[in-house]
Structure 1
């Protein structure tokens, strides 16, 4: 019997894909984009991302759980489809690569300033390669284990209640010198990852509950962002929050234990787990598309080529600002894919259904 992903694993997998290094900067992005009490805007992005998931659910129901590759290949000629596949391979592999580079540069800056970040990048690529070659079931099991290894960190929120001041939240909502349009695009990038559920159709169990699990994972991510951002808005002044690069990382530095110094370095290490799942799933998605283009080649060689090329590309941006700019632009493109790909699939399925009805 072929192994299947259960809804519980899917929900945790979606959460782990969405969560990552971006959580360190999202309080600042919310403050800069939505002003006072910008934490509340997370609810707006929950609604937008839920609509995008609804589009995916329509594809799932109309296609009766079939692979999106089957749907595309039955309707679009290969000479048109292969450039689309190439685009998706490049986009998803670059996203995974830049997430890895962002994490290792921050880790290098706070813990090992004299070590070249590409050394850590190579180590993360090796771990990612092992998981990608293991397949989506191995990745899902690893993400479930990683989830239980990091979820306890939410309890750290209670540490800050003593210094939390309600007066810092003010009575104003979404007021101040803000840029909501471009800022919203940057914030929405923090919710990306659920769109990879499109590739999970052939691997899931209990088909009626699959999409509910995707919604659940997105809700867990949104609540995590909401709670951490709420604490940051009440712990820091609004002026401080807009100027800090990584408010949550600064927040961790306030924890003091008598037997551990610089505990934020230790806590930051735990964020490798969600970052690793984000990297692995985008790389896995790129490999899945590459397999459709060249099906006769072993999956390990697909992974070797993609990881090798992307390790070379990752040398190009060498400072954190450049890496985050790459991620920003890639996020804009991925946002269009998040809505565009499901809509394309829905149109294809509707057209096919209409043709069958006419017959």
Structure 2
């Protein structure tokens, strides 16, 4: 696929890392599983994510202009290939629904408890429609704009740490290596988002820099998650942190300014500006796949239908905290296959396929 829309390496890094940093349940899940040694599991998960990302890049190096649709059709044939594209489209669709309803739940509980879920959903969908319609280049530019806001929000989380207790982090390996190894399956959830590489690579202006971009994006994600994990572990006791659904957001509660009440509302506004980039990217991936599936260029009809469905759904259904947790678990279980198994297995398949084709020509 030839495209006039291009993204820079910097935008490529921010888009991947931005999605990865939207996995809000991770700090609590790691603490429950590995205690205060969860940061070690994150480091191991980081290396697994790097390997997976480099496999995805290696696939594209064989055909740099191919999209995910092109790969499936050329390597699996028309019908099997389209089946694979449909499965990926469903994955992106579910991600859109999950992240929007998660945002709706947080906004309804924390910021606008008296506002109808219908209007909150519309507030999220209007900018999403405008940005996604403009294409991946605008999403990349948006990522650059919100980067300073994301950095500010991370710095602000350091304020409550003056009352933290570093002793909570000690001793290291207090329960041995077994909990850490068992927690790797949770740690790799933090790097879900690397699969968006399969969508972004055809748009990257300098494709030779893709491997460097994968390493930088995952490294930045690792640093931020370790920072958040340590911040929560130091401020909350090991028992207390497990009582919160999103301990990172609870970390904002103690921040107070004389001239400002309920600072957490301002913080969540900053958070959602970064978080919405994930919604933009998954919406774009859904739109791109389904447009190519039906051979329609920049087809907005499926996105229009999806948004109408979401608006109507918000009238009759607002998920509870338990339902949100279940939705996240479904997403993570699917992510193990889509994010980690698929790139490695597909690279092996493409390599064997290419080798056999070359032998036939000889």
TM-score (norm 2): 0.90
Work out whether 1:13 is the aligned partner of 2:15: yes
Distance 1:48 1:311, change over 3 A: farther
Which residue pairs with 1:29 in the alignment? 29
Alignment root-mean-square deviation, CA: 2.4
Provide Cα deviations, 1:82-141, integer angstroms capped at 9, x if missing partner.
222222222211111111111121121112212222321222122111111111101111
Cα distance in 2, alignment partners of residues 182 and 86 from structure 1:
33
1:282 deviation in Å? 1.0
Check 1:266–1:132 CA distance in 2 against 1; reply closer, same or farther (3 A cut). Answer: same
User: How far 1:3 sits from its partner (Å)?
Assistant: 4.2
Q: For the structure 1 residues 69 and 297, does the alpha-carbon distance in structure 2 shift closer, same or farther, using more than 3 Å as the test? A: closer
| Structure 1 gap ranges (5+) | none
The residue number in structure 2 matching 1:355 is 357
How far 1:335 moved relative to its partner? Answer: 2.1
**Could you tell which deviates more after superposition, 185-194 or 136-145?**
185-194
Aligned-pair CA distance for 1:287: 1.0
Aligned positions, number: 356
Deviations 1:32-82 (A, max 9, x none): 011233233221221121121121122122334533322221222322222
Q: Aligned with 2:239: secondary structure?
A: helix
Give structure 2 stretches of 5+ with no counterpart. Answer: none
Native 8 Å contact 2:50 2:214 kept in 1: no
**2:226 and 2:111 mapped to 1: Cα distance?**
28
Task: Tell me if the contact between 1:6 and 1:205 (Cα under 8 Å) persists in the aligned partners.
Answer: yes
1:176-215 aligned at under 5 Å gives the runs 184-215=184-215
1:257-268 maps to which residues of 2 (within 5 A)? 257-268=257-268
* Map of 1:242 onto structure 2: 242
User: Structure 2: how far apart are the matches of 1:181 and 1:290?
Assistant: 39
Report the CA distance between 1:346 and its aligned residue: 4.0
Give the deviation of 1:294 after TM superposition: 0.8
Q: Which moved more, 1:120-129 or 1:180-189?
A: 180-189
- In 1, distance between residues paired with 2:267 and 2:355? 52
Q: How far off its partner does 1:259 sit?
A: 0.6
Tell me the distance in 2 between the aligned counterparts of 1:325 and 1:181: 24
Task: Tell whether the 8 Å contact from 2:16 to 2:194 is kept in structure 1 after alignment.
Answer: yes
Residue 286 of structure 1 is matched in structure 2 by: 286
Moved more, 112-121 or 223-232: 112-121
Contact 1:256 1:263 in 2 (8 A): yes
Q: TM-score, normalised by structure 1?
A: 0.91
Paired position in structure 2 for 1:319: 320
